[in-house]
A and B are shown apart, each in its own frame.
Chain A
C-alpha cells in the first residue's frame, strides 16, 4: 500500500503548496490593492490615528492635524474651510477623502514609497509614522479675490473661478461656490458627520460638487476664441479679414436663422475679424465655423485640451467636449459655443492661458511641492508642456491683440485695469429655455507679459434674467483676480 500512500503524500504537498502560494499572493502581491480599497476600515483607522501631513498654501496651513485627545489621537482641521474646501477636499472617517486629501493621500498619510526611509526609522525608534506635507500652487491673493468676488454676488451664487499662470501651468486660484465646511466632515462626532453629509450631498445647489473642474457648461461666446484660433491657424484669415456682420445668418438646411445677441448688425454687412470678436458677433463666427468646417474646429479644440484629462494632482476632472460631426447649421451653433459644446471652467482657463503663453499650453497642476516630515523636499513638480502646441506664436499674438481690443473697446470694458493691458472675452451662454444663461468671462493680464489667465463662470446668481451677462457678472471677478496677481 506504500505506492498510493506516497502518491497521497505528494497530493497533500500540492495542497499545502497551493495554500502557501495563495497566502503569499494575498498578503504580498495583492495586499496593496486590498489596503487601498475604500471600505477597508483597518487602513482608515490607522491613518486616522496618525499625524497626517499638512496642506500648505504659500507657507500657511489650509489643512493640518492637531492632537485631539480622543481615541483617534489627531483631529484634521481646516483653518479657512470655505475658501479652500474644493482644493483641499475633506478627510472623513466615515466617507473617505476627496480632492488633494484623496489624491495625495499616500504622502499625507505617510505611506508613500518616497517616505520609506522615514517609516523605517519610525519603526526602529517605535514612534508613530508621520505624513509628509503638500504645498499647493495656489496664490492666496488670487484665491481670496476669486472667493470674495463670488461672495459679493451672494453666498448662494453658483459660480466657479480658475486662474492659471500661463508660463508654467500653476493653478493660482481654484474656487467653486456654493462651498462647504470640510471641518464638519472631518469631525469625530460621527452622528453629526452623518447628518451633515446627508444634508450636503442632498442639497439642490450641490455644495460639494467642484464646478471648477468637475462641471462642464456651454462655453458660449468664450468659445469664439477657439473658432478665431482655428481661423488664424488656417492661414486664410488675419485680424483684418472681412467676415459677414449682418444681423442674422441664414442657415442652410433649415428655416431658422442665427441672430446676433443684440439683434442688430455687428457694425456693417461685413466687418473685420477683430471687430467681430470685439462685439462678439454671432453671425460672423457662425459663418466662420461653417466655412472652416466642424473638423477644423474640433481639431483646434482638442489642441487646447478638449477631449482630454490632463490636470495633475487632482482627480475627477470632467472632459470638455466638442460635438461629433455636427451638420452645417449645428456647426454654426457650435462655433459660437452653443449646441453641444461643453467646457469646464478649468478648460476655458486653459484656452486663455495657452493663448497667453504664445500658443503653447502648459499642463495645469495644483501640487507644487511634497515634503517629508523632516521638511526635506521629496518632489517638486516641474512645468510640463501639453502634448501639442495649440497655435503658432504669431497667430497667438494676433489673437491676443484682438482680445485686448475686446477689453479696450468691446464687450469687456468692465475688466479694464488702469495701467495694465488686459486681454479678455465675454460669454453669455444659453442652455435651456427655463434656466438662466451662464455668464462667462475669460481673460489674461498683462497682455504683453501674461502673469495670470482666468476663467470665471457664474452659473446662477439669483439675479434677473436680463441682468445676466459675462461682462456684468463674471468680468469684475476676473478683474479682481488679475489685479490681485499683477498688483504690488
Chain B
C-alpha cells in the first residue's frame, strides 16, 4: 500500500474566501437562470425575482457561514458547485412550471431549504465523522428497513410502475434515497472492521485473488437485497446503484479486484435472469435499443432525444424550447430539459460539475488518514458518480433507461435532502483531513496504523 503521505511542510489553506467568491458566482448562475426563464417564457423577469433571489442568497450564504464556523478547512469547491446545480435545477423546474401550470418550484425551494438546514445540522452536530462508525449496524438495519418500507401494504405507493415510494399524509417520500447514505456509512463501518478477513484469505486463479467461499456471505446478502429491490420494487436503477456501491467499497477496502469480478458476474447473472423473467426489464432494453420502433411506449425517451437534438450546440435558450413535451422533464428527465434549452454546452457544463463533485469526494478519500473516512468518502463519491451515470446515461440513450433522480436537480424532497446530507458529510471529512495536525507527527503515519479515537 502506497499511502498518500502529505509532507510535513504542506499545510492546506482554509480557502474560505475562495469559496465565498465561488458562491457568488454560483448564485449568479441560479438567479440568472431564474430571471432568464421568466424573460424567455413571458418576456419579463419573474415578479418574485427579488424575494426569490434573497431567499436563495440567504440559503447559500447561510451555508457558507456554517462551513466557515464549523469546518473552516473543508474543500472550497463542493459547496459552490452544489449551489449552482441546485439553483439551476430550481430554474429549470420553474420553467416547466410555467409551461404546465404547476407549482413544483415553490415546493422544491422548500425542500432545498430543508436540505440546507440538514446540511448545517450535519456540520454543527457531527464534530468528527469517525463517530458514525459506532452506528454501523444501527444504520445498516435502518437502511434495510427504509428499503423495505415501500413494500408495507397501505404505506407504500406505486408510482410509474416502481414501488419505491411511501406516502405519509399528503407527502410522498422515496426512502431509498436516504437508505443510500445510511448504506454507505454501514458498509464503511462493516468493511473497515472485516477487511482483513476479506482481503487475506483466498486463492489465486490465473493471477487474480479470489475470496474464500465463506467470506462471500455479505456480498451474497447484498446481492439478494439488490435483487429484492429489483423484483419487488421493480426499480432497476436503485438495484444497480446499491449493488455497484457495495462492490466498489468492498474492492476499495480489500484492494482485491477479484471482488469486482465475482460481483460483476453475480450482477450479470442477476440481470440476465431479470431480463428473461420480467417484461418491464425487457421493455426497458427494447426502449434503449430502438425507441423509434414504438414511439407510443417509448415516447419519453424519444421526446427527450428530440429535445436534446433540438437544443444542439448552444441550446434554444432558457424558456424558449419545448421541454414540457418530455414526460417528467422536471424529475427524471430534467437533464434532457437542460440539454434542450442550454444545449450541448450546458450539458457539458452540467456533467463537469457533477464530475467535479465526484473528483472532490475521491480526492478527500485519498488524503483521508483513517480507513473509515476513506471508505465513506469513496462510497459517497462513487454512489454519486453511479447515480449520475445511470440517470444521464439512460436519458441520453447510452444505457437502458432506469428511473433515478438527478442529484440536486430533479424535483423531489427525499433526493434533495439526502444529497445535501451527503455534501455535509463530505465537507466534514474534508475539513478533518485538511486541517493541520495539532502537533508534529512522525512521517511513518500510514493509514493502516493510524490510531483512531473512537469517542
Contacts and interface: CB of A to CB of B under 8 A. Distances in A.
A2 B310 contact: no
A2 B370 CA distance: 11
Given A2-B1, A19-B393, A42-B321, A12 B362 contact: yes
B3 interface: yes
A253 interface: no
Contacts of A26: 305, 308-309, 339, 396-397
Interface residues of B, number: 53
B252 A5 contact: yes
B396 A5 contact: no
B382 A23 contact: no
A42 B371 contact: no
A6 B252 CA distance: 9
Interface string B236-258: 00000000000010011101000
A41 interface: yes
B354 interface: yes
A1 B362 contact: no
A19 B392 contact: yes
A35 B312 CA distance: 10
Nearest to B348: A20
A42 B3 CA distance: 54
B325 A41 contact: yes
B267 interface: no
Contacts of B252: 1, 4-5, 8
A378 interface: no
B371 A1 contact: yes
Given A4-B252, A27-B343, A40-B306, A20 B374 contact: no
Interface string A10-38: 00110110111011101110111111010
A327 to B, nearest CB: 44
Nearest to B292: A37
Interface in B366-420: 366, 371, 374-375, 378, 381-382, 385-386, 388-389, 392-393, 396-398
A2 B374 CA distance: 9
Nearest to A25: B396
A9 interface: yes
Contacts of A19: 351, 388-389, 392-393, 396, 398
A39 interface: yes
B393 A18 contact: yes
Nearest to A13: B355
A16 B350 CA distance: 11
Contact of B398 (A18, A27, A45): A18
B104 interface: no
Nearest to A41: B325
Interface in B310-324: 310-313, 321-322
Contact of B2 (A2, A23, A27): A2
A2 B378 CA distance: 10
A11 to B, nearest CB: 8
Nearest to A45: B322
A43 B310 contact: yes
A435 interface: no
A15 B389 contact: yes
Contact of A1 (B292, B309, B374): B374
A1 B351 contact: no
B354 A42 contact: no
A12 B386 CA distance: 8
B249 to A, nearest CB: 9
A456 to B, nearest CB: 42
Interface in A270-319: none
A375 B375 CA distance: 68
Contacts of B371: 1
A383 B146 CA distance: 75
- Among A1, A2, A31: residue with most chain B CB under 10 A: A1
B366 A42 contact: no
A3 interface: yes
A19 to B, nearest CB: 5
A31 B312 contact: yes
A43 B255 CA distance: 52
Contacts of A1: 1, 252-253, 255, 371, 374-375, 378, 447
Contacts of B359: 9, 12
Nearest to B3: A2
B72 to A, nearest CB: 25
A295 B162 CA distance: 66
B365 interface: yes
B198 interface: no
A43 B306 CA distance: 9
A28 B343 CA distance: 10
B344 interface: yes
List the 4 shortest-distance A-B pairs measured between CB atoms, nearest first. Answer: A34-B309, A31-B309, A27-B344, A12-B385
Given A3-B2, A34-B310, 12 more contacts: A1-B378, A2-B447, A4-B251, A5-B374, A13-B355, A16-B385, A22-B398, A27-B339, A28-B312, A32-B309, A34-B306, A40-B306
Interface of B: 1-4, 248, 251-253, 255, 292, 295, 302, 305-313, 321-322, 325, 339, 343-344, 347-348, 351, 354-355, 358-359, 362, 365-366, 371, 374-375, 378, 381-382, 385-386, 388-389, 392-393, 396-398, 447
